[in-house]
Structure 1
Amino acid sequence: MAYESSVPYRAGTEGYTSFRIPAVVRARSGHLLAFAEGRVSSAADSGTIHIVLKRSADAGRTWGPLQVVARNGTGTAGNPAPVVLDSGRVLLLQVHNAADATEGRIRRGRVPPADGRRVWLQHSDDDGASWSPPREITDQAKLPQWRWYATGPGHALQLRHGPYAGRLLVPANHSTPPTDTQDSGAEPRYNGGHALLSDDHGATWRIGYTDSHSHSHSHSDTDRSVAPNETAAAELPDGSVYLNARNEAAAAWRRADAVSTDGGEHLVRPFRPRAGLAGPAVQGSALHLGDRGPLLFSGPAHPAARALMALRSSRDGGLTWRTAHTVGGLPAAYSDLVRLDRDSVGLLYETGDFSAYSTITFRRIPVEEPT
């Protein structure tokens, strides 16, 4: 099936070598806000990177001019995690680090905290036309012993149902130092997932659940076969939160999931493998369509390569999955989902003819409503 599509970001244009890490939300006015990392001098994950934004007033058919929302001098401002509040305010969580602070160096403990991953927050009260200066919230959002750190990437949540309605929940991930005799020169990959929570519309933040192997703050220590990373969150109709994460631990199971029934404070059980979502090691997105609608997941469906972007759906809260739409057979990587209207969702995703990172493309995809 051919879907209506547009290309808000194309590598090698508008002053940027590469655009990566898409995130999209629908403002209260109906405008779409498509965020990305604008990587200035290379496609690498570190260096001079800005958070950029394009807005659409026609459901993603056309896009306005590029806006630079956040800079960090010559360093990195990245991992956009936006959320639209019931007030209409748009919050944008993000992470900053020095240009030479690569993920490997940070994980090995070779970057001073001031240059490492630090958490910042901005807001807009005019649907993304203008933005507040970034405000640092690292002391509320990151434990001192955590090394690598990332918000999202992809949209965050304001809970709408149940006793925790109004709470903000931002899925995030972290790494911890090695606790065994691992070679100090190796790159430890002690990945853990956690949530950032706010009950005052983003004025203050705290850490909710954590799920990792070696951390005393953890409310639930997960099995060694699971190392959650780059988590997506979706609120289910009963107010519980479904969490789906990239799994860095086991080659056989590249997705893991969990559920929280107390607004992200704790997990019902630790993350566990989700074998029904085959794919490579990559970020994905989750979105529940509400009421009797399905839970959706977007991500590449090829078992090994970042390719074959697909939309999969679940009618049982993520226990079983089926393919709802195969978006395309091309290379594809990161993605984010947004509800457009009753009949369609928007998918903002990395893709290209020969590389998954040639464009960030937007597609409008019809959804099936229950009869």
Structure 2
Amino acid sequence: MKLHFLFLFLFANVLIEVNASEIQYVFKNHQEGYHVYRIPTIIKTKGNNLLAFCEGRRSLFDNGNIDIVMKTSKDNGKTWSKLKVVWDNGKNTCGNPSPVINNTNGNVIVLATMNNDKVFVLESKDEGESWEQPKEITTSVKLNNWQWYATGPVHAIQLEQKKNINRILVPCNHTILGNKNHVSHVIYSDDAGFSWKLGGSVPGENTDESTVAELLNRDLLLNMRNNEKSISKRKISISKDGGETWTSPIIDSTLIEPICQGSLLRYSFSPNILLFSNPLNKNRRKNLTISVSYNEGKNWTKRIFVFKKKSAYSDMVKLNNGDIVCLFEFGKMLPYRGVLVKIIDNELIME
């Protein structure tokens, strides 16, 4: 892989610029039946296929006739299949995909919502080739006084360590009736996605679109979009009981944001590496960056610049060779012209 690097030292961080020539489209606006593609997520199956999901929209609006669509890559993100519709419910809004692989049987599970109100589970037993009918789980994971509801939109996780091993955990957010401020919470399944329970909510308000990772000590780190415009930095919270309760959120002073979704990924436990992708800018959705932490998110000491122009929502997945596939929104006037993919060489990630 031919890469050009720009090494800068600023505030004890290493900043790396990746050659943008290796970026390619996965979902392109005004093609394959939809005007706009937004809200990308990505996972790797047991069979080492990549499944890229997003919302297929008729317009830029977040409501109306929206479907969940996907494409498959069988060569580590180099080429992609034709578009497949995963969930189309007429004129309803089917969105906020949060996919995960059930490691106990290899099934693909996607949590999603209808009309930002009802919660559903979609499942595939053949690596995304076919899908069972969506199963509604709203009454199990939503309180009566909650109104808005969104799953993800980012990959979910399955816990790997002894405490709560194989628990599937999905970051979500909601609003309470009569209050427009969002609150982050999680839902989980301890039986391979058959049944679902409501986990803990993060104390306070003004956080949503969270993303979660497992820490070495078995704690969970929840990284959240911060809707307080005066701060422009991410918020984080910790759970010590598998997501059933969360600490009061604090500001992560090293992760700036323009109020936007981001993606947290456990790259490896040994060596200890966490990755976080988001637009690294205080005011505008641009400059998509992967930040690297070697100490459980206490510091983010390396930045890998993926796309310097307009960019917004993103997700990441690790390949078997250690490379990272980053799926993200981009544009010119607005960062919503389509969804691109960039493969990041594993040598850039190591300390």
* 1:318-360 Cα deviation digits (max 9, x unpaired): 1211343011211000000111134311100001244311110
1:129: Cα distance to partner? 0.5
Within the candidate set 244, 248, 262, 2:241 is matched to 262
Structure 1 segment 63-78 matched on structure 2, within 5 A:
63-78=80-95
- Unpaired segments ≥5 residues, structure 1: 98-115, 179-187, 212-220
- Name the CA distance, whole Å, in 2 between partners of 1:336 and 1:94: 16
* 1:208-263 Cα deviation digits (max 9, x unpaired): 1112xxxxxxxxx33xxx52100001122333221100011352143101121221
Within the candidate set 301, 305, 325, 1:346 is matched to 325
The corresponding residue for 2:213 is: 234
- Name the CA distance, whole Å, in 2 between partners of 1:229 and 1:189: 12
- Name the CA distance, whole Å, in 2 between partners of 1:345 and 1:168: 22
The corresponding residue for 1:204 is: 195
3-state DSSP of counterpart to 1:162: coil
Within the candidate set 277, 281, 294, 2:255 is matched to 277
Identity of aligned residues (%): 36
3-state DSSP of counterpart to 1:139: helix
Paired residue total: 330
Structure 1 segment 24-39 matched on structure 2, within 5 A:
24-39=42-57
* 1:2-58 Cα deviation digits (max 9, x unpaired): 263321101111111100000000000000000000002x11100100000000001
The residue identity in structure 1 corresponding to 2:196 is: W
The corresponding residue for 2:183 is: 192
Structure 1 segment 280-291 matched on structure 2, within 5 A:
280-290=258-268, 291=270
- Name the CA distance, whole Å, in 2 between partners of 1:254 and 1:151: 22
- Name the CA distance, whole Å, in 1 between partners of 2:333 and 2:224: 26
- Name the CA distance, whole Å, in 1 between partners of 2:342 and 2:223: 22
Structure 1 segment 30-179 matched on structure 2, within 5 A:
30-40=48-58, 42-86=59-103, 87-97=105-115, 117-178=117-178
- Name the CA distance, whole Å, in 2 between partners of 1:132 and 1:342: 32
* 1:141-171 Cα deviation digits (max 9, x unpaired): 1111111110000100110112111101000
The answer to whether the 8 A contact 1:330-1:354 is kept is no
3-state DSSP of counterpart to 1:63: coil
- Name the CA distance, whole Å, in 2 between partners of 1:60 and 1:15: 22
Indicate whether 1:15 and 2:33 are aligned.
yes
The residue identity in structure 1 corresponding to 2:259 is: A
1:60: Cα distance to partner? 0.7
- Name the CA distance, whole Å, in 2 between partners of 1:313 and 1:189: 33
3-state DSSP of counterpart to 1:164: coil
- Name the CA distance, whole Å, in 2 between partners of 1:191 and 1:232: 15
The residue identity in structure 1 corresponding to 2:166 is: G
The answer to whether the 8 A contact 2:272-2:295 is kept is no
The answer to whether the 8 A contact 2:264-2:276 is kept is yes
Residue 364 and residue 134 in structure 1: after superposition, are their counterparts in 2 closer, same or farther (change >3 A)?
Answer: same
- Name the CA distance, whole Å, in 2 between partners of 1:239 and 1:347: 26
* 1:299-322 Cα deviation digits (max 9, x unpaired): 001110000000001122112113
**Which 10-residue stretch deviates more, 290-299 or 124-133?**
290-299
The answer to whether the 8 A contact 2:211-2:224 is kept is yes
The answer to whether the 8 A contact 1:294-1:314 is kept is yes
Question: Could you tell me the TM-score, scaled by structure 2's length?
Answer: 0.90
- Name the CA distance, whole Å, in 2 between partners of 1:73 and 1:16: 14
The corresponding residue for 1:313 is: 292
3-state DSSP of counterpart to 1:204: coil
1:130: Cα distance to partner? 0.5
3-state DSSP of counterpart to 1:275: strand
- Name the CA distance, whole Å, in 1 between partners of 2:61 and 2:182: 21
3-state DSSP of counterpart to 2:46: coil
The residue identity in structure 2 corresponding to 1:288 is: R
3-state DSSP of counterpart to 1:160: coil
Aligned Cα root-mean-square deviation (Å): 1.5
- Name the CA distance, whole Å, in 2 between partners of 1:11 and 1:315: 37
Residue 329 and residue 253 in structure 1: after superposition, are their counterparts in 2 closer, same or farther (change >3 A)?
Answer: closer
The corresponding residue for 2:12 is: none
The answer to whether the 8 A contact 1:312-1:321 is kept is yes
- Name the CA distance, whole Å, in 2 between partners of 1:61 and 1:342: 14
- Name the CA distance, whole Å, in 1 between partners of 2:206 and 2:328: 24
